[in-house]
Every structure is written in structure tokens, then in C-alpha cells.
Amino acid sequence: MRKILVIHGPNLNLLGSRETSVYGTTTLDEINQKLTRLAKERGVELSFLQSNHEGDIVDAIGRSAKDGFTAIVINPAAYTHTSVAIRDAVAAVAVPAIEVHLSNIYKREEFRHQSLIAPAAAGQVSGFGVQSYLLGLEAAIGLVNGQ
């Protein structure tokens, strides 16, 4: 069975109560449940990591191939705009990554308009709320299935 790593960046553990006008009321656990259902339907296994610490995310990406992952779905959250380390980790591994965001980062504050991660990722999905994660997972599955 193919394995996909889902990485949730800083403050995403607060989903459901944090800035609900931007991120909605769905919790991270609910997002993970929806992803798990879709993965089961598509015959893939998911592993989840939520971290508020850049190094933990870099380490997980760096060992993703060794750990048997065939793709990564990542919401780097605030690190999207600041982390060269995460960008370099995504670029360094032979595991394709799909960057996802609940909100449309290009319709928000100007400092959020640039993603350092996107140029290293296979693709990006943003602005569709929870659906961004599901679309990102579908894209990752398509990549690992050669579609």
C-alpha cells in the first residue's frame, strides 16, 4: 500500500477556534478524519504530523523516502513565507510534495503572497478551505500513480 505523509505546520492545531473567519470552524482532527476516509477509498495509507517547530518538519521531510512515503501533502502555514529550510528539504528529497492552504494566500496580507515552498513543490492548492487538503491528497495520489 502506498504511504503519504500529511504535514500540518504551526498553529494548525488551533483550527476550529483560531481566526474562524479566515480558517473556518473545522478542527484539525476533523480534517484528518476526512483525509483518512478519502485515503481509504483510494487505497493509500496516511501518516500525520502537526508541529509548531520548523526542525521537526524538516526532519520529517528529510526522512520521508527512507520511511517509505511516496508523496507529501504539506500545509506549511506561516512557514510558507519564511522557511528556506523547509523549502530546501522539499527540494532535496525524491518524494513529491503538494503544498496546501485553507485560505487563498494571494488574497490575504501582502507578506503572505509569496510562498518559498511552491517552487520546490509539485503543485499548490489554496483557497478552498478543507477541500484544499482533499484536492491536495487527490493530486498526491495521482502523482504516485503516474497520472
What is the set of domains in the chain, with CATH numbers?
A: 2-144 (3.40.50.9100)
Q: Which of 8, 79, 101, 133 is catalytic?
A: 101
Model pLDDT for residues 51-78, shown as the tens digit of each residue: 999 999 999 999 999 999 999 999 999 9
* Higher local confidence (pLDDT), 81 or 28: 28
Task: Note if 53 is an active site residue.
Answer: no
pLDDT at residue number 17: 67
Task: Note if 79 is an active site residue.
Answer: no
- Pairing state of beta strands 2-8 and 44-50? parallel
Q: How many CB atoms lie within 10 A of CB 102?
A: 23
Q: How many CB atoms lie within 10 A of CB 57?
A: 26
Residue 98 C-alpha cell reads as: 503538494
How far is it, in rounded angstroms, from Cα 22 to Cα 19? Answer: 6
Residue 112 C-alpha cell reads as: 503572505
Report whether pLDDT(112) > 70. no
Q: Which of 23, 79, 106, 113 is catalytic?
A: 23
